Chain A
Amino acid sequence: MNTALPEMLHCLQTPPENLVESVADLTMLERKRAQLKRQLQQQQQLRQQSQQRYFGETQFYVFPQPPVTQAQQFQDLINNDPALREFVNRSMKTDPGLANDWPDFGKYPITNTGFGGKTADFGCNGFGTNSLGTDQSHSVSISRTSSCPPAVPLPDEKGRDSAFVATPSTVGRESFKKRKADKTQNTKITVPEDTRDKRIKTDAEETKITVQSTATTTRSTPTTTTTTVTNPSNSNDTTTANNKSNKETTGDSPKDNSKTPEVPKPDYIHVRARRGQATDSHSLAERVRREKISERMKYLQDLVPGCNKITGKAGMLDEIINYVQSLQRQVEFLSMKLAAVNPSLDFNVDNFFGKESAQTFPACNGNSFPTVGLSSEMANPAYLQFNPVQQVVSCGGLDMAINPPDEMTIRRTSSTPISMPEAFLDTTGFTQAPHSSSSWEMDLQGLYKVELQQGRPAAFPTHPFTGTLEANNLKMEM
């Protein structure tokens, strides 16, 4: 509980987006308050029925062993409702049996009051109005745990994972009707009851909770016996031990105490179950899919030149289509050119690659520096720079290795967004080569990232610094 506190406070201050909706939900808040008061009245009545049962109520306030969200909600609940806060405080004072536990719990409301000025606002705005559903469920859970029900049979709890949705919902329905029948005299409350009924259809977990709550209201007498059993063990040192002992002693509902705070947690974190939408797994999956797609779209944006400025999916797709089309057209054009240049489809392939394929193939790396280095060993560097033709002559079979890159890079840079100063163009073009090749490497690195995330075998392991390193080499040689 102590560890949870800073987080709770942090969370109290964080959600500013909820401020916006707070105004709209104020009426809901009031309605809910009325409901809470009603429940408090119920509880007080129950307390009057038996003093033992009262221990059961206090037990809840000790137990939550909070997962953070639950604790937040609880705190907000306290903040929202002065009546409830009073109730908590009262229960603190009047219970001697749980004296050992109060030090732990004592910090809880104290910090509340300490931040009372601020958190009252935040509580109202942030979580109090968070959603009708959550708070309702919580208030219900108060009444449930207040009686600590073993009333709900165990098979239900076991089948919580899968079969639970089917079976207890019907139970919930009928017990719900019971409850409605109980409170028909109060017309005001039936309205939120209806909304809650709708929610129950969507959220199985909450059906469970309401089932139990109704169970406790209907049969309050058997529960008192079990809670008295638990109380002595509640006077253990810490709340963790407390929770454990709850498990041990009650026996009937060990899962119940430990699980109910945990299970609804993911729901509340990921999905703001506002106005009864987007709680089902389908919309969740859809959301995940959309996020994935947008992530990939970002990579595409990086890859496709001129796509950075465009916002909106349609525009981006347009740009991508254009780019793919242009690439395909380039392929067409190049194949046409090859066909035109070589009338007999006999590419003199042996001339190019026959003997020294191992040396010439690196020429197609995009950054043909190895061969450049090689040739500059063979020939004078200055020579290389100013007189490529002679260089061709001197290198014979390597001509293809050296000469294409400069033309290639010039052309490539004209298609890529890197802006080349004109001055560079009339020099040899070797100076530009590092530029474009490094940009190429970066592209591939981008792809590599994608590949990594896909979990496929890495298709394009990159050598991040090859471009620049070799550029340095080249400069030194020149």
Chain B
Amino acid sequence: MASPSSFKQELLKKWVLGLQSCCSMAKDMGISERKKAIKLSADLAMASARDGRTCWSRAVIANASKQNESKILVQKILGSECERLVKASSIGFSSCNKRFTSKRILRRSCSSLRRIRRSAPKRVQASSIAKRMVKKRTQLLKGLVPGGESMDEFSLIEETLDYIISLRAQIDVMRCLADASERLKSQ
């Protein structure tokens, strides 16, 4: 990946590859299925264009390769690097998953504790409120960024940066294609 433009090129290439394989796999689909396939292929293309270097892209690949119907798509899009990437991402992500479940348990216990505590009248300080607000939003952001559950705060912010840039590129490319296809139709 030499430049933003080449990143987009790669994304487009991979996406087109994915779309082709999609359309070769299943001929007649409903619009929602089609939409799903398009989105999945676009996401996968974005992740593979990012070359599995970042946490979120690995998480996307791992998520996709877990489902049976998208497995082939993953293999098509990733091509030769498929084995390596899927392996790396699944390793990274399975450990993340473990941590996530334990975290969930912890959170559950914490929330029960909090409920108990909330019943008791307690003076709440401003700093603690701010902290809680930040924590809540961090949790939200973790839910938004793929694979974010396993990240700490610092890497979460970094990944968010990367993810936003890649999303922008993806949107640009998708827009290109959508406009082109629209124009082609109207012609």
Q: Which of B64-72, B96-104, B111-119, B135-143 is the interface stretch?
A: B135-143
User: Does B35 lie within 8 Å of A411, measured CB to CB?
Assistant: no
In the complex the two chains form, what is the Cα distance from A349 to B184 in whole Å?
11
Residue of A321, A332, A392, A411 near B137 (CB, 8 A) is A321
Question: Within residues 14 to 49 of chain B, which ones have a CB less than 8 A from any CB in chain A?
Answer: 16, 19-20, 22-23, 26-29, 31-32, 34-35, 37-39, 42-43
- A348 lies within 8 A of chain B by Cβ: yes
- Which single residue of chain B is at the shortest CB-CB distance from A348? B184
Residues of A within 8 A of B32 (CB): 339
Min distance, Cβ A475 to any Cβ of chain B, angstroms: 21
Segment of B81-89, B120-128, B159-167 engaged in the interface with chain A: B159-167
CA of A293 to CA of B164, assembled, Å:
17
B174 at interface (Cβ–Cβ under 8 A)?
yes
Please give the distance in Å from B24's CB to the nearest CB on chain A: 9
Residue of B with least CB distance to A303: B164
Main secondary structure on chain B at its contact with chain A? Answer: helix
CB within 8 Å: A-B pair count: 200
- Let me know if A339 and B35 touch, CB within 8 A: yes
A331 touches B39 (CB 8 A): yes
Q: How far is the CB of A28 from chain B (nearest CB, A)?
A: 27
Interface residues in A348-393 (C-beta closer than 8 Å to B):
348-349, 351-353, 361-367, 392
- Is B165's CB under 8 angstroms from A447's CB? yes
B168 interface hit (Cβ, 8 Å): yes
Q: Are B38 and A304 in contact (CB under 8 A)?
A: no
Do the beta carbons of A440 and B42 come within 8 Å of each other?
A: no
Kindly state whether residue A450 has any CB partner on chain B within 8 Å. yes
Is B12 an interface residue when CB atoms closer than 8 A count as contact? yes
Q: Could you show 7 A-B contacts with beta carbons less than 8 Å apart?
A: A335-B38, A339-B38, A345-B29, A346-B23, A361-B9, A364-B9, A365-B9
Give A462 to B5 CA distance when docked, in angstroms: 9
Choose one: A297, A339, A361, A457; the contact of B157 (CB below 8 Å): A297
Q: Do residues A303 and B137 form an inter-chain contact, with CB atoms below 8 A?
A: no
Note all chain B residues with C-beta closer than 8 A to A404: 175-176, 179-180, 183
Q: A346 vs B163: C-alpha distance in the bound complex, in angstroms?
A: 29
The interface residues of chain B lying within 8 Å CB-to-CB of A338 are 35, 38, 174, 177-178, 181
Per-residue CB contact flags for chain A residues 300-320 toward chain B (1 = under 8 Å, else 0) read 100110000000111001101
